[in-house]
Amino acid sequence: MESENKYLSAILPLKKREETQNRWLFHRLNTLLPALMKKHKVDMWITAGREYNEDPVLKSLYPTSVDGSRRLTILVFYLDQEHLKKWVLHPNPNFEPFYERAWNPEECDQWECLKRLVDEHNPDTIALNYSSTFAAADGLSHSCYQQLSMLLDEHSHKFVSAQHVIVDWLSIRTTKELVAYPAIAELGRMIAEEALSRRVIHPGITTTEDVVDWIRQRVLDAGMETSFYPTVDLQRKGSVMDRLEGEIIRFGDIVHLDFGIRYLGLATDTQQLAYVLHPGEEEAPEGLQSALQTALRFEDIITGEMKVGRTGNEVFHRAMKKAREEEIEAMLYSHPLGNHCHEAGAIIGLYDQQNDIPIKGDLPLTANTCYALEFNIQQYIPEWDQVIPIYLEEPVAFIQHRLEYMAKRQIAYYLI
């Protein structure tokens, strides 16, 4: 009960959450976004979305009191040398003071207002949200693109993809967010720890699905949401499957949890492990402990290779090379964290592609970004006379170019 109260008491009431997120947004719009548009040589960025079919990046640009596009919403960003002008073409007053309302419905429609802004400022480049590589940067609908092409026909040769601005906007965290993100990651870890305990799991009775249901209800009751549908599976002595699901949890099982929360607009993603003690046992068998230590060694290898400026592919190959040299049978598939669980940005391997990843893997790791350090190793367990996988995942962050764990690192099994 004490641990429960500890993490539940840290969850802010709704009004405080909104105030926090709005402070972060105001800071991001006025500090981060101008730097990103300058970095990627974008003069103007236009983002448009219609009600119930919003461009996915719009949610990251809205203050908390704006929950949707309401017919049509157009945001326009214009970098005038060092100063960023931010316009909204929508009558909702809640967009202020984040954006200047530039549209008067009594004078013209939104598209005519947009054309006037573009004509007046005559930018050299106009970034639009289309991309064949990054899903979050591909949110401009076909009809909106057609409308923009017709409306801005004399400017259409200036159209460029906004994907590089969007990737950085979604993946880079400001200093204010980096202060809070570790607490969010630790909150997710503490929920996972409670789920992998006798408070929830009763060997011989509780199923893996029961644990999933408990986690989802716990997160919902706390006024949050999971960042993806959690999974709970088992490694079991004698099993031909390495991830048993829908099973009753038994003595001697390894319980593997893959889980994350979304809180204050930021997602977490972690994988944690527990061992179910046989009656009379006080710790996991030596073979299982040795396998976990091998996994932690590979984790150290990965963190040692994750450097700002290296591409995801470079990190992947360097880490896997060292694993082979140490005879560690490993797979590596880490991804950025941010507004989305699988955030845009440099990826380090994929579960089903253990090699170079075109484009996404060629991106460099950047400062002030966060990652789900995700991987597995396989090792022979003498007590089980079989090879089993050890799946782990930890949220980490580049803070002042130094990679740090955002939550308490798991270095031993939770014991049930």
Tell me the domain boundaries of the chain.
14-169, 172-415
Q: Which of 46, 75, 278 is nearest to 158 (CA)?
A: 46
Contact assessment for residue 196 and residue 255, using Cβ atoms and an 8 Å cutoff: yes
pLDDT at position 151 over 80: yes
Q: What pLDDT, on the 0 to 100 scale, is given for residue 5?
A: 59
Average pLDDT over residues 320-331: 98
Strand duo 44-50 + 126-128: pairing = parallel
Tell me the average pLDDT across 8-16: 90
- SS3 of residue 48 by DSSP: strand
User: Could you tell me the CA-to-CA distances from 313 to 335, 356, 369 in Å, in that order?
Assistant: 12, 6, 17
The total of other beta-carbon atoms located within 10 Å of residue 318's CB is 17
Q: What is the mean pLDDT of residues 295-316?
A: 98
Q: What is the mean pLDDT of the chain?
A: 96
Name residue, tokens 């009379």.
Answer: 280
Distance CA 345, CA 330 (A): 23
Q: Could you read off the pLDDT of 206-221 as tens digits, one per residue?
A: 999 999 999 999 999 9
- C-alpha 10/C-alpha 224 separation (Å) is 12
Q: How far is the C-alpha of 305 from the C-alpha of 317, rounded, in Å?
A: 10
Nearest by Cα to 72 from 105, 34, 117, 119: 105
Same fold, 14-169 and 172-415: no
Antiparallel, parallel or unpaired: β 100-101 and 83-89:
parallel
Q: Are residues 214 and 234 in contact, defined by beta-carbon separation less than 8 angstroms?
A: no
Q: Mean pLDDT check: name the lowest of 6-10, 283-287, 405-409.
A: 6-10
C-alpha–C-alpha distance, residues 187 and 10, integer Å: 8
Q: What pLDDT, in 10s, does the model give residues 87-106?
A: 999 999 999 999 999 999 99
Topology (CATH) of 14-169? Creatine Amidinohydrolase; Chain A, domain 1 (3.40.350)
- Topology, domain 172-415: Creatine Amidinohydrolase (3.90.230)
pLDDT at residue number 9: 81
Return d(Cα 306, Cα 211) in angstroms, integer. 33
Calculate mean pLDDT across residues 297-318. Answer: 98
Beta-bridged to residue 396, according to DSSP, are 371, 405
Residue 244 reports pLDDT greater than 90: yes
List the one residue out of 188, 373, 183 whose CA is nearest residue 268.
188
The span from the CA of 148 to the CA of 123, in Å, is 15
Task: Say what the pLDDT of residue 320 is.
Answer: 98
Residue 1: pLDDT band with limits 50, 70, 90: very low
pLDDT at residue number 4: 53
Q: Tokens at residue 363, please?
A: 């991106």
Q: How many other β-carbons are positioned within 10 Å of the β-carbon of residue 401? A: 12
**Predicted TM-score of the model (pTM):** 0.94
Kindly report, residue by residue over 160-188, the tens digit of the pLDDT.
999 999 999 999 999 999 999 999 999 99
- The DSSP annotation for 163-177 comes to HHHHHHHHHB--HHH
CA distance 109 to 112: 5
pLDDT digits (tens, 9 = 90+) for 36-70: 999 999 999 999 999 999 999 999 999 999 988 88
Between vectors from CA 49 to CA 47 and to CA 50, what angle results, nearest 5°?
Answer: 160
pLDDT at 380: 98
- Residues 339/266, Cβ–Cβ less than 8 Å: yes
Q: Which two tokens stand for residue 373?
A: 């350090």
Is the Cβ–Cβ distance between 269 and 227 less than 8 Å? Answer: yes
HSE-up of 118 (CA within 13 Å, CB side)?
27
Please confirm whether the linkage preceding 97 is cis (ω < 30° from 0). yes
pLDDT at 72 over 60: yes
Q: Is the pLDDT of residue 3 over 80?
A: no
Phi, psi of 373 (to 5 degrees): -80, 95
